[in-house]
Amino acid sequence: MGMRIQNHPILEFTEKKPVRFFYEGKQMVGREGDTIASALHANGINVLSRSVKDNRPRGFYCAIGNCGSCQMRVDGVNNVRTCITELTPNMHIERQRGLADDQT
Amino acid sequence: MKADAVIIGAGISGSSIAWHLAKKGMRNIKVFDASYLTAGATGRCGAGVRTQWGTKTNCLLAKKSMEFFEEAGDLLDYKEDIEFKQAGYLILATTREEEAIFDKNIKVQHDIGIPSKRLTVQEALQIVPHLNPDSFLSASFCEKDGHLNPFRMTDAFYQAAKRLGVEFFFYEPVTDIKTNHASIEAVITDRRIIETDVVIDAAGGHAKEIAAMAGIDVPVFSEKHEILATEPTYPMQDPMVMSFSKNIYCQQVPHGSFLMGRSNPDAKHNHDVTSSWQFLEKMAKTVCDILPDIGKLRVVRQWGGLYNNSPDRQPIISSVDELPGFYVACGFSGHGFMFSPITGDLISDLILDKEPAINAAALSIKRFDETSNGDYETSVV
């Protein structure tokens, strides 16, 4: 898993249980305790949404649920703040198109 | 400094008056504002424009204004989008008494050619499918009503007025108005004296205080009204949904956010514009009753602004007998933005001694002197 820190000079990361989830229908694996956004990052997904006007890529930004940059569609619910929402097994995560349209 | 006319207030009313005056040929017009363009009630309003009113005067003001908005981009030669969206106002009747009032109002509206109509619950649901059908009995709808961006609309008047030579002064509060017997001599700001004999009070929430500087008592008061905005979402509601009895208006603006507001019956008469959690709680409960799906959206911000209320909830657009040269445009009771084109037209006609488009007596400050048996506007949130 590319982005996950394995060795850190101060902190220790114990091996946590794998959690299966789906991004745009594709099966991926995160770790217990991950937020949705951290699990996606660990899987190399760093474009979490797109700007409404110009469709520019938007990624992990404020990390405290304020900025809206990481809002995604989770299990059919629009505008979930993935940076502060914990990953649970078998979640279906999708990128929103424009203003979170109502199509599935 | 000298001026042929001084306008106090650079909100939508002052900007419209400035442009109308200049367009009709007046020169050397100066506009003063204590803050920036749209800093007061204009920039804090709900951005709705409607023609469905209960009094003939308000219906006429609204109809004339709507005709202007339809052509505003061309008339003012404005390059930006004023975001005028005529998707209608759907007004819900929730009691038998309110239904009777709507039946009466619609006759007043039809008499002057406003194409409003009464709708059943089923017909209303076709226009706004996420309405709670149990929350109302019937509705009133006019497709000509809608949304307009207050910042862009004011900027359009402002830019056009400047091109005609009007000068604007921002962050320069008027501190006094100098009169001598029954004539105006000068307007005094915190940094200069402007000699003039024509003053237009378009100070919105502070109109009473400005008039008092000239010794004029205007029977208006200001009170706070609050609004909240949700996160933007996909287009799901075309018209403004409104209910007087449930005390709510709620519309989705073009960029996707919902704006909604309600009045506080216990609001104090002052200039407070702070936000309150009490509003947030009551607003959320009200909107979830009639538009439950909107409860899923997050609130991203809220703000307050001032209604400047007149005794009969209709504007005061008037000259003042005691002080020739002094004009007031205030008391819009929450609707100065949507009446702004006709406000500018009427005030400029009064000043330039032209025949006004609407009977000026109905809007005169003098109507409050007499034992009033005039119309009271009840169609207000």
pLDDT in tens, B241-288: 999 999 999 999 988 999 999 999 999 999 999 999 999 999 999 999
- pLDDT-above-70 percentage for chain A: 93
For residue B256, give how far its alpha carbon lies from the nearest alpha carbon of chain A (Å): 7
Mean pLDDT, residues A85-100: 90
Residues of chain A found within 8 Å of residue B256, distances taken between Cβ atoms: 52, 99
- What is the rounded CA–CA span in Å between residue B312 and residue B365? 11
Instruction: Decide: helix, strand or coil at residue B376.
Output: coil
List strand residue ranges (DSSP E) for B143-231, in order: 146-147, 167-169, 174-180, 183-189, 193-195, 199-201, 221-230
For residue A20, give how far its alpha carbon lies from the nearest alpha carbon of chain B (Å): 27
Residues of chain B found within 8 Å of residue A100, distances taken between Cβ atoms: 233-234
Q: Compute how many other C-beta atoms are within 10 angstroms of the C-beta atom of residue B44.
A: 24
For residue B301, the chain A residue with the least C-alpha distance is A66
Partnered with residue A81 across adjacent β-strands are A71
CB A60 within 8 A of CB B212: no
Partnered with residue A37 across adjacent β-strands are none
For residue B144, give how far its alpha carbon lies from the nearest alpha carbon of chain A (Å): 26
Query: Which is higher by pLDDT, A96 or B291?
Result: B291
For residue A100, the Cα-to-chain-centroid distance in whole angstroms is 16
For residue B232, give how far its alpha carbon lies from the nearest alpha carbon of chain A (Å): 7
- Domain A18-94 sits in CATH at 3.10.20.440
Residues of chain A found within 8 Å of residue B236, distances taken between Cβ atoms: 102
- What is the rounded CA–CA span in Å between residue B263 and residue B146? 20
For residue A67, the chain B residue with the least C-alpha distance is B300
Q: Compute how many other C-beta atoms are within 10 angstroms of the C-beta atom of residue B295.
A: 12
Q: What is the CA radius of gyration of chain B?
A: 20
Burial class (CB in 10 A: 0-12, 13-18, 19+), A97: middle
- pLDDT-above-70 percentage for chain B: 99
Residues 283-322 of chain B whose Cβ lies under 8 A from any Cβ of chain A: 297-298
Residues of chain B found within 8 Å of residue A68, distances taken between Cβ atoms: 231
Closest residue to B231, CB basis, from A79, A101, A102: A79
Angle between helix B96-111 and B56-75 (nearest 10): 60
Partnered with residue B178 across adjacent β-strands are B186
- Amino acid occupying residue A10: I
A-to-B residue pairs, Cβ atoms closer than 8 angstroms? 20
CB contact (8 A) between residue B232 and residue A78: no
Question: Does the ipTM surpass 0.85?
Answer: no
Residues of chain B found within 8 Å of residue A54, distances taken between Cβ atoms: none
Instruction: Give me the pLDDT at residue A101, please.
Output: 60
Residue B371 has pLDDT above 70, yes or no: no
Interface of A with B (CB under 8 A): 52, 68, 78-79, 98-102
For residue B171, give how far its alpha carbon lies from the nearest alpha carbon of chain A (Å): 32
For residue A19, give how far its alpha carbon lies from the nearest alpha carbon of chain B (Å): 28
CB B186 within 8 A of CB B171: no
Show the tokens assigned to B278: 């009490």
In tens, the pLDDT along B153-184 reads 999 999 999 999 999 999 999 999 999 999 99
CB contact (8 A) between residue B236 and residue A100: no
Average pLDDT value for chain B: 96
In tens, the pLDDT along B319-360 reads 999 999 999 999 999 999 999 999 999 999 999 999 998 887
In tens, the pLDDT along B176-226 reads 999 999 999 999 999 999 999 999 999 999 999 999 999 999 999 999 999
CA end-to-end span of chain A, whole Å?
Answer: 29
Instruction: Give me the pLDDT at residue A43, please.
Output: 95
For residue B300, the chain A residue with the least C-alpha distance is A66
H or E element at residue B102 = helix B96-111
Q: CA B100, B104, B106 angle in degrees (round to 5)?
A: 115
CB contact (8 A) between residue B234 and residue A68: no
B236 touches chain A (CB under 8 A): yes
At B373, the pLDDT band (50, 70, 90 cuts) reads low
For residue A71, the chain B residue with the least C-alpha distance is B231
Partnered with residue B91 across adjacent β-strands are B140, B242
- What is the rounded CA–CA span in Å between residue B153 and residue A29? 52
Ordered structural domains, chain B, with CATH: 5-46+151-220+312-368 (3.50.50.60), 85-146+221-309 (3.30.9.10)
